[in-house]
């Protein structure tokens, strides 16, 4: 059974410093939500307040419409998967997974049966008698997952669950997490600092900085229409340009070239920052892409399926162009070459500052 | 670049002596390399040998000797062991010493665990942790005997405690069991040796990951369940090390028992000391060997139960 999570003006203060600053957030039941931001942005504190491992300084935490602000962790219907997994080193996998059943006074036989079934679910049946120290990182993670899921929580909280794994395993576990979430239909709240992880997994991406939520949206919306320059920079894949508003539909860059937009500029704005996705900029511009950005090539990186060209523009800012392999080799560029990149007005997104 | 092959060439010409001559220095080098670790541990072996192995072997040897009048006769007889093991006094003394060890162990464990738990889990600031820890440790910079003697004016018939109790009207006559009694012996032991429990337990507790406590709480464990299922099992190595310290110290003690019981209580160590003062060295040596075997057996039993390798 899935429950939604709602935060109402939730604040966390450590002495004089404010870690989480009166945030409001509604996570729909059964969705996969990623809290993302740089370290110290308050994402982990937020997760721990939902879990009940951190006292809320002000505001309310609601789970399934029930105010759980003052309830202990085990009575919230949540389960947490810890960053370093926090498996009990003195217990074998089966007893680790069955631990919360033991705390609830479930009889030994039933406890072991249910724990064994849960271990089967994460494909670890044959390792039931092993201690955590005898498992690989990926196996430990799956034991932690099984331990968290055994009480049938309505919300699963994951604190950087993939950060300790190597890139290959990370990809596999990411898939597995998503599959589990879909199968169980419960709400997942996942803290991460990796944007690819957030975009690949979530239904709802919540970008945080300095204790505040900057944007919470679906992954596509966040990526296509980042609200602020910070969000655009943090998610990556965007080039940010600054200019002066000419009229409602155009801005002038520092070097004087005009950029046309399709979005309407808000009235009364002098300087404007815009974001253009790096994969939407092209070298060898044509008339379909009337916007121009001139600069010098400072690096060319071959990535296999695409080529990254780094551009240093006349205003002194650095940009990236992601070109398809075919496009790049149709017109290769040399280091230090002066080039002009082009992009369409529809690819320009105006940022709030 | 051009000098390289020539060097290699001359080198090859020089280093092409008959087979045997070439093999010999290399083999010696290899033997030296194999012996190097042993050489490096030689100082430790010397210290252990001179201060531990040789004395123990001497004691074992003397335990088989004979003493006639005032002379030690090197021979091989089992009489000393027969005397030690068949005497009722030995058995009652062992029983009394073991009882002291058990009571002191229980008391130091209870206090030591509580203090270590408080220091590691409830004192949040590292500074306070250090200050309180030092507070436990500083008294141990003075001698055992001084710390023991200081109990005498406190517990004596006209001591501070008795006078206070009488002034408060708790009792109308001095309590006699306070000093020169088994109670006083246990009290002094606990006072002397609790730190040996606190330190190793504190060490293991500091290594318990705090996220484990949270994980247990997340699974629904209350404070008592956290203690029982997480803290105690994970502190076992420290408890075992502390137990080894306390048990061996109490088993081998003679001065505390003698001073605090006023000579009314016996201990194995005391028995040995008396035999030595009567110049019965072989019997005392046999006694020492038996005690050593007993204590080693106890340590072995503890190590069978708890794996302390993680702590070493």
Residues of A in contact with B217 (CB under 8 A): 53, 72-74
Contact B230/A88, CB-based, under 8 Å?
yes
Instruction: Give residue B236's pLDDT.
Output: 93
Restricting to B residues 179-218, those with a Cβ less than 8 Å away from any Cβ of A are 209, 211-212, 214-218
Q: pTM of the prediction? A: 0.79
Select from A53, A90, A100 the Cβ nearest to the Cβ of B219.
Answer: A100
C-alpha closest to that of B192 among B274, B118, B129, B255: B255
The confidence band for A1, taking pLDDT boundaries of 50, 70 and 90, is low
Sort out which chain B residues have CB atoms less than 8 A from A74's CB and list them.
217-221
* Chain A residues inside the 8 Å CB shell of B211: 82-84, 86
Quick check: B263 pLDDT over 90? no
Residues of B in contact with A151 (CB under 8 A): 219-220
What are the pLDDT digits (tens) for A92-128?
A: 999 999 999 999 999 999 999 999 999 998 888 899 9
Pick the range with the lowest mean pLDDT from A323-332, B14-23, B54-63, B73-82. Answer: B14-23
pLDDT at B2: 40
Q: What is the rounded distance in angstroms from the CA atom of residue A231 to the CA atom of residue A351?
A: 9
Which residue has better confidence, A256 or A20?
Answer: A20
Shortest distance, CA A227 to any CA of chain B (angstroms): 36
pLDDT range class, residue B150, cuts 50, 70, 90: confident
Instruction: Work out the pLDDT band at B311, boundaries 50, 70, 90.
Output: low
pLDDT at A203: 95
pLDDT given for residue B197 in this prediction: 95
- What is the model's pLDDT at position B24? 58
Average pLDDT of the residues in A140-156: 92
Per CB-CB distance under 8 Å, the chain A contacts of B234 are: 89-90
Q: How far apart, in whole angstroms, are the C-alpha atoms of residue B127 and residue B192?
A: 25
Least confident of A144-158, B29-43, B92-106, B216-230: B29-43
Closest residue by Cα to residue A96 from A137, A138, A132? A132
Instruction: Confirm or reject contact between B219 and chain A (CB < 8 A).
Output: yes
**Do the Cβ atoms of B233 and B306 come closer than 8 Å?**
no
Q: Encode pLDDT of B72-131 as tens digits.
A: 888 888 988 998 899 999 999 999 999 999 999 999 999 999 999 999 998 888 899 899
Q: Does B7 have pLDDT greater than 50?
A: no
Contacts across the A-B interface (CB distance below 8 Å): 58
Please tell me which of the candidates A83, A103, A147 has its beta carbon nearest to residue B225: A103
Mean pLDDT of chain B: 86
Q: What is the average per-residue pLDDT within A28-57? A: 94
Q: What is the mean pLDDT of chain A?
A: 90
Domain B87-310 belongs to what architecture? Orthogonal Bundle (1.10)
Chain A residue whose CA is closest to B213: A86
Domain boundaries, chain B: 19-56, 87-310
pLDDT for B310: 65
Lowest mean pLDDT across A79-88, A276-285, B109-118, B220-229 = A276-285
Provide the shortest C-alpha distance from residue B61 to chain A (in Å). Answer: 45
Q: What percent of chain A has pLDDT over 90?
A: 61
Asked if residue B257 has pLDDT above 50, the reply is yes
Q: Which of A234-248, A270-284, B165-179, B197-211 has the highest mean pLDDT?
A: B197-211
């Amino acid at each position: 059974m899935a429950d939604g999570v709602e935060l109402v003006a939730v604040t966390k203060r450590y002495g004089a410093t404010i870690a989480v600053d009166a945030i409001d957030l509604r996570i729909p039941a059964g969705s996969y939500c990623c809290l993302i931001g740089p370290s110290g942005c308050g994402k982990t504190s937020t997760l721990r307040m939902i879990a009940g491992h951190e006292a809320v300084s002000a505001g309310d935490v609601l789970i399934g419409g029930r105010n759980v602000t003052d309830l202990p962790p085990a009575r919230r219907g949540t389960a947490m998967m810890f960053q370093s997994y926090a498996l009990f080193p003195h217990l074998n996998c089966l007893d680790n997974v069955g631990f919360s059943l033991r705390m609830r006074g479930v009889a030994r036989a039933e406890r072991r049966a249910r724990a064994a079934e849960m271990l089967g679910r994460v494909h670890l049946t044959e390792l039931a008698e092993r201690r955590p120290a005898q498992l690989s990182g990926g196996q430990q993670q799956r034991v932690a997952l099984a331990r968290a899921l055994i009480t049938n929580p309505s919300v699963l909280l994951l604190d950087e669950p993939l950060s300790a794994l190597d890139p290959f395993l990370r990809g596999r576990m990411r898939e597995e997490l998503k599959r589990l979430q879909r199968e169980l239909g419960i709400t997942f709240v996942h803290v991460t600092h990796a944007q690819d992880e957030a975009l690949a997994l979530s239904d709802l991406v919540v970008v945080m900085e300095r204790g505040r939520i900057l944007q919470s949206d679906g992954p596509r919306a966040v990526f296509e229409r980042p609200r602020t320059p910070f969000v655009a920079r943090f998610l990556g894949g965007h080039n940010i340009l600054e200019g002066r508003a000419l009229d409602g539909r155009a801005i002038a860059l520092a070097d004087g070239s005009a950029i046309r937009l399709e979005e309407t500029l808000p009235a009364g704005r002098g300087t404007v920052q815009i974001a253009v996705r790096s994969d939407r900029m092209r070298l060898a511009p044509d008339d379909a892409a009337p916007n121009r950005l001139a600069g010098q090539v400072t690096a060319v990186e071959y990535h296999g399926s695409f080529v990254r060209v780094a551009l240093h523009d006349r205003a002194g800012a650095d940009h990236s162009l992601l070109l398809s392999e075919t496009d790049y080799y149709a017109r290769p560029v040399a280091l230090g070459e002066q080039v002009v990149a082009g992009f369409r007005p529809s690819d320009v997104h105006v940022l709030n500052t | 670049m051009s000098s390289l092959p020539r060097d290699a060439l001359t080198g090859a010409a020089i280093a092409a002596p008959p087979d045997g001559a070439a093999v010999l220095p290399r083999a010696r080098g290899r033997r030296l390399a194999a012996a190097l670790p042993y050489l490096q541990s030689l100082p430790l072996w010397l210290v252990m040998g001179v201060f531990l192995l040789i004395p123990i072997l001497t004691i074992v040897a003397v335990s088989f000797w004979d003493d006639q009048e005032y002379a030690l006769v090197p021979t091989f007889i089992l009489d000393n062991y027969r005397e030690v093991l068949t005497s009722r006094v030995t058995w009652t003394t062992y029983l009394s010493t073991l009882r002291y060890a058990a009571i002191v162990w229980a008391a130091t464990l209870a206090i030591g665990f509580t203090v270590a738990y408080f220091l590691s889990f409830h004192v949040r600031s590292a500074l306070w942790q250090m200050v309180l820890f030092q507070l436990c440790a500083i008294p141990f910079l003075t001698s055992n005997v001084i710390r023991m003697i200081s109990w005498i004016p406190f517990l004596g018939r006209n001591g501070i405690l008795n006078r206070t109790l009488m002034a408060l009207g708790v009792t109308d006559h001095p309590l006699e069991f306070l000093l020169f009694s088994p109670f006083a012996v246990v009290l002094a032991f606990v006072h002397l040796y609790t730190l040996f429990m606190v330190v190793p337990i504190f060490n293991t507790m500091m290594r318990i990951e705090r996220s484990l406590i949270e994980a247990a709480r997340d699974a629904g464990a209350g404070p008592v369940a956290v203690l029982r299922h997480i803290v105690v099992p994970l502190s076992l190595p420290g408890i075992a090390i502390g137990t080894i310290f306390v048990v061996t110290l109490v088993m081998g003690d003679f001065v505390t028992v003698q001073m605090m019981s006023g000579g009314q209580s016996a201990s194995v160590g005391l028995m040995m000391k008396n035999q030595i003062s009567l110049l019965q060295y072989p019997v005392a040596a046999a006694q020492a060997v038996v005690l050593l075997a007993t204590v080693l057996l106890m340590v072995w039993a503890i190590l069978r139960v708890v794996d302390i390798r993680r702590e070493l």
